């Protein structure tokens, strides 16, 4: 088990490499959660996530010139690549074939040789271990290593200084290295602080391990939160969670999406899906208590294309778009009168489709499918009623049912 002395030693070693990420309170999220919410912005850390902590603590202790190898979908890859370059050594990183191109490019920019192979991170770990055995490079695991865990635990020591009033800390869980380090450090300093882990429901390997009493390898993982999409934790991380973590909860994809959108829109925190899971858990009422809670926003290395899709999906789910079907007689001015009414309602039009041929239409009828921006779902009802009162035959588009 990781000791406080090991975490303290790691902090001294990391002082020269870490970027300060002081925790701060979000009044907006606090109002929404009904309790003080503080954010630990590790998405602003070197290489875009907390991973540099464990990677540098492990790699900096190797003999000079010792090559390293690792496997990752992105965050650990960048942490290892940066740590290797800062300590004057070469690194080889195995990444899944479907890894986001920006993450691949960033890893290469930090000086690593990237090799794409395998469908999942677990596949890449096997490739990295084989590479280490064949070349003499040292394999740097993403979580199953005492020095890596001790490095991640330095985050807790910062929280003790930045948020001494904290009642609970909420941490994303993948392989378990971050929560193991944070929980171990707090257990040996502030045992009264509750530590809550959050997994994606489609990759809940720690939850399965806790139920079984040993690591369990999931048949598959399915989540947008690739930073925590691991099939299995390790014996080492499981022991720490069993000993020090108060609870591990899961959130679904819709909850993650809405939390990510809120983080961006209300906290101005551009984070990756895995980093949004703590906020999702708090807003879902899965974190007990009403005192100050710290959310570890673990990383910000999100693929811009994925981010665009997530934002659009999140806005739709939050009722920020409304799509309706308007049917009327095919006469000049129909479209103009419709858009005039939408303008009177102060609605911004996002998209318009105009169709004359449809088997559900009469001979002289046309349909207009229009998408507008709205404040919330309550306004959906108001818009439908207003268009109906203006004489339009209107109905919500399938999938946009008015509630």
Question: What angle in degrees, to the nearest 10, is found between the helix axes of 235-244 and 146-162?
Answer: 30
Q: How crowded is residue 305: how many other Cβ atoms within 10 Å of its Cβ?
A: 11
Instruction: Evaluate whether 278 touches 295 at the Cβ level (below 8 Å).
Output: yes
Instruction: Evaluate whether 105 touches 301 at the Cβ level (below 8 Å).
Output: no
As given in the structure block, the two tokens for residue 245 are: 């973590």
What's the first-to-final CA gap in the chain, in angstroms? 52
Q: Which of 197, 154, 173 has its CA nearest to residue 274?
A: 173
As given in the structure block, the two tokens for residue 310 are: 């997530």
Indicate which residues carry an active-site annotation.
51, 298
Q: What does R_g of the chain's alpha carbons equal in angstroms? A: 25
Kindly list the distances between the CA atom of residue 311 and the CA atoms of 75, 227, 259, 264, in Å, as whole numbers in the listed order: 21, 18, 10, 9
Instruction: Evaluate whether 280 touches 250 at the Cβ level (below 8 Å).
Output: no
Instruction: Evaluate whether 267 touches 242 at the Cβ level (below 8 Å).
Output: no
Q: Which of 150, 206, 207, 208 has its CA nearest to residue 182?
A: 150
Q: Which of 176, 138, 172 has its CA nearest to residue 58?
A: 138
Instruction: Evaluate whether 138 touches 67 at the Cβ level (below 8 Å).
Output: yes
What gap in Å lies between CA 297 and CA 194, rounded to an integer? Answer: 17
Nearest 5°: phi and psi at 60? -65, -15
Concatenate the DSSP letters of all residues of 130-174 into one string. Answer: HHHHHH-PEE--SSSSHHHHHHHHHHHHHHHHH-TT-SEEEEE-S
What gap in Å lies between CA 372 and CA 265, rounded to an integer? Answer: 19
What gap in Å lies between CA 356 and CA 367, rounded to an integer? Answer: 7
DSSP 8-state class, residue 45: S
């Amino acid at each position: 088990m990781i000791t406080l002395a090991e975490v303290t030693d790691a902090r001294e070693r990391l002082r020269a490499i870490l970027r300060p990420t002081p925790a701060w309170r979000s009044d907006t999220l606090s109002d929404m959660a009904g309790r003080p919410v503080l954010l630990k912005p590790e998405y602003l850390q070197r290489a875009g996530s907390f991973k540099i902590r464990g990677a540098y603590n492990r790699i900096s202790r190797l003999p000079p010139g010792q090559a390293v190898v690792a496997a990752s979908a992105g965050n650990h890859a960048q942490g290892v690549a940066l740590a290797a370059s800062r300590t004057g050594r070469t690194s080889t990183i195995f990444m899944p074939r479907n890894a986001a191109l920006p993450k691949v490019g960033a890893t290469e920019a930090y000086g690593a040789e990237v090799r794409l192979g395998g469908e999942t991170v677990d596949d890449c770990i096997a490739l990295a271990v084989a590479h280490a055995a064949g070349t003499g490079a040292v394999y740097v695991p993403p979580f199953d290593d005492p020095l890596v865990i001790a490095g991640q635990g330095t985050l807790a020591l910062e929280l003790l200084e930045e948020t001494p009033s904290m009642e609970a800390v909420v941490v994303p869980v993948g392989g378990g290295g971050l929560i193991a380090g944070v929980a171990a450090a707090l257990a040996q300093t502030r045992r009264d602080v509750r530590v809550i882990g959050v997994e994606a429901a489609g990759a809940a390997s720690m939850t399965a391990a806790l139920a079984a009493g040993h690591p369990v390898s999931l048949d598959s993982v399915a989540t947008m939160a690739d930073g925590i999409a691991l099939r299995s934790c390790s014996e080492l991380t499981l022991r720490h969670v069993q000993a020090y973590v108060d609870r591990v909860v899961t959130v679904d994809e819709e909850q993650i999406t809405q939390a990510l959108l809120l983080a961006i829109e209300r906290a101005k925190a551009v984070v990756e899906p895995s980093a949004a899971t703590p906020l999702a858990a708090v807003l879902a009422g899965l974190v007990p208590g009403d005192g100050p809670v710290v959310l570890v926003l673990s990383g910000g290395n999100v693929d811009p294309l994925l981010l665009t899709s997530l934002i659009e999906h999140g806005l739709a789910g939050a009722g920020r778009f409304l799509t309706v079907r308007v049917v009327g007689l095919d006469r000049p001015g129909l479209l103009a009168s419709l858009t005039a009414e939408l303008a009177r309602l102060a609605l911004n039009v996002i998209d318009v489709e105009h169709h004359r041929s449809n088997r559900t239409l009469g001979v002289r009828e046309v349909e207009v499918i229009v998408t507008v921006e709205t404040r919330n779902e309550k306004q959906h009802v108001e818009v439908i009623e207003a268009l109906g009162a203006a004489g339009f035959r209107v109905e919500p588009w399938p999938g946009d049912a008015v509630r």
